[in-house]
Chains A and B, each alone.
Chain A
Amino acid sequence: MKIRPRRPTRPRRPTRLPSLPRLPAPVLPTFSGRLHDARTATSLGRWLGVAIAVCFVTGVISHYLQHPPYWLADVLPSRPSWGYRVNQGLHVSSGIAAIPLLFAKLWTVYPKLFVWPPLRSVRHALERLSVAVLVASAVFELFTGLLNTVQWYPWPFSFVPVHFAVGWLLIGALILHVAVKYPEIRDHWGKRSPGTLELPAADGPDRRSLLTGVAAAVGAVTLTTVGQSFTPLKAFDLLAPRHPDHGPQGLPVNRTAAAAGVTRVSAPDWRLTMLGTHSYELTLDELAALAQHTVTLPIACVEGWSKSAQWTGVRVRDLLDRAGARPGAAVRVVSLERRGAYRVMEMGSEYADDPLTLLALRLNGQVLSPDHGFPARIIAPNRPGVLQTKWVTRMEVL
């Protein structure tokens, strides 16, 4: 990286503008190591780009499933029933896979941080600014996302809106970066690309060795965490913050009864209140006496873990029909919990009409435990776990 500027000697001409005092060049680090080249950056960058693109698309889908704007609420699809599970599994595992790729990519281009003068022109300044935004947002997104999966929030802002906003910043900076660097990417895309051929041939094996190492790191971090959502690999789930088998009734829980303040629900006193054109109330026994259906649906958390389970209960559609709801009505579900962002949940008609959507009373054949929402909870296909309301006490036809 030693580039000595060769400046042809030329006579000094008087300038109209007063010239700035020339800053002495500081002592900048030089990088004798190899592979800080465009071919290595391109090879790593395209995989990092794929990981970030997958992470961004799945993140946006997740965000709108969880916080649908009013015009979207009734058209969000309830199928495929495993859609959210796959989406969120991909979101978290592509984010984790991006960590080794980001480290390696930034290592490759690190010498570019030390150039003098730091800003050569407006164009150069803008390019550096966009790279600064790219690096900052990429590190920020992966860091905050990883900490969110362990429910650790050391920052003063709220996670969801900021993670969402910086995601747009990141994908924008990435697309701009690809546009700016397009000639270099094109020249180093393949083994026989002109730029690649100009690089020292001796670096080829070393580069392949580095890329193999990075691939091994991606494989290792994926294998040791993906089991939290891809249950066939749960035996290798050594580092994920969740394990599919750890939790009450063999299923993880995000919000416990203690956290929600609903540890003691008295079954004889509990009532389900249905509000509609024909409002009614049901005791737990009356609810259990209605037609019961058993469905196999995954519960999938925004934080990445998911697991399929068997749920038994009453179809929400049947409850709505009895309340005189027209087909295509939406429904509001209210929980017994005293506070919490998801105490009140609204469900669009696609979900409400789906025969798989239940007010569940049982999990894998057993009565729901308090942590899983005793006496009754919602389970619907293709929905984030936070919207599968637990400790249901009231439903309103909308």
Chain B
Amino acid sequence: MRIVTGALGVALMAVGAALLLTGGQVKDVAIWLAGSVVLHDGIIAPLVIATGLLLAAVPSRGTVRAALLVAGCLTAIALPALLAEGNPTNPSVLPLDYLRNWLILLGVVGVGAGCLSGCGDCVAAGCADVERAAFTPSERVGAGRGGAGSFRTAPTRRVPGQQKPKLPNREPH
């Protein structure tokens, strides 16, 4: 069964190779295929690994990691829209303000992660008053577990007495 499956895979790969060969653009495609591996293995993966090393000792690591994953993937899919020139003769291609939307999304991710890590710290500290802590995470974080919740983009650090952190009130249209 494994051999049959493997053979099927090889056969499908051969279909792809034959399509490429008859297309007559093999050299350019080969360069771009190799470039894809270099781009990932040489640039993207080392950057991600390096980020992982920096995160190793961060409190609420899981939440911070998830936030960076979400933010990074949103950025990856936003990049073409952010960098493409668009089509001046066709206003329905790339019609949105992608820079604004991308920043809103990063803000939402940051606020969400801040709230989550605040809750997480609270639960970890055995705090019974979960609800209160969820709304004022910074007090608990600041008071007890120095450095916890230090995720930079989370606007949960505030001096008691200041206004509540606002969720972005600009609704995605």
A252-273 Cβ-contact flags toward B at 8 Å (1 or 0):
1111101100000000000000
Closest chain-A Cβ to B70's Cβ sits at a distance in Å of 5
Closest to A171 in B: B12
B residues in contact with A132, CB < 8 Å: 37
Q: Is B105 an interface residue (CB 8 A)?
A: yes
Q: Which one, B3, B19, B45, contacts A165 given CB within 8 A?
A: B19
Number of A-B contacts (CB under 8 A): 226
Secondary structure call for the A interface: helix
Q: How big is chain B's contact interface, by range?
A: 35 or more
For the complex, count residues of A whose C-beta is within 8 A of B. 82
Closest chain-B Cβ to A63's Cβ sits at a distance in Å of 11
B73 touches A162 (CB 8 A): no
Q: Is A149 an interface residue (CB 8 A)?
A: yes
B56-97 Cβ-contact flags toward A at 8 Å (1 or 0):
100000100111011011101110110011010111111110
Selected interface stretch from A5-13, A70-78, A204-212, A385-393: A204-212
B105 touches A172 (CB 8 A): no
A209 touches B62 (CB 8 A): yes
A212-248 Cβ-contact flags toward B at 8 Å (1 or 0):
1110111011001100000000011111011100111
B66 touches A216 (CB 8 A): yes
Q: Which one, B28, B65, B76, contacts A157 given CB within 8 A?
A: B28
Closest to A257 in B: B89
Bound: A225/B102 CA distance, A:
12
From residue 10 to 33 of chain A, which have CB atoms closer than 8 A to chain B?
A: 31, 33
B residues in contact with A209, CB < 8 Å: 62, 65-66
B65 touches A143 (CB 8 A): no
Secondary structure call for the B interface: helix
Closest chain-B Cβ to A369's Cβ sits at a distance in Å of 12
A179 touches B2 (CB 8 A): yes
Closest to B93 in A: A151
Q: A103-B73, A169-B16, A235-B172 are in contact. List 5 more A-B contacts (CB 8 A).
A: A100-B73, A107-B49, A165-B16, A168-B12, A176-B9
15 contacts between A and B (CB under 8 A): A99-B73, A99-B76, A110-B49, A137-B33, A151-B87, A151-B93, A161-B19, A162-B25, A162-B29, A165-B17, A175-B5, A176-B6, A235-B172, A241-B93, A256-B89
A residues contacting B by CB (< 8 A) are 31, 33, 96, 99-100, 103-104, 106-107, 110, 113, 130, 132-133, 135-137, 139-140, 143-144, 146-147, 149-152, 155-158, 161-162, 164-180, 182, 206, 209-210, 212-214, 216-218, 220-221, 224-225, 235-239, 241-243, 246-248, 252-256, 258-259
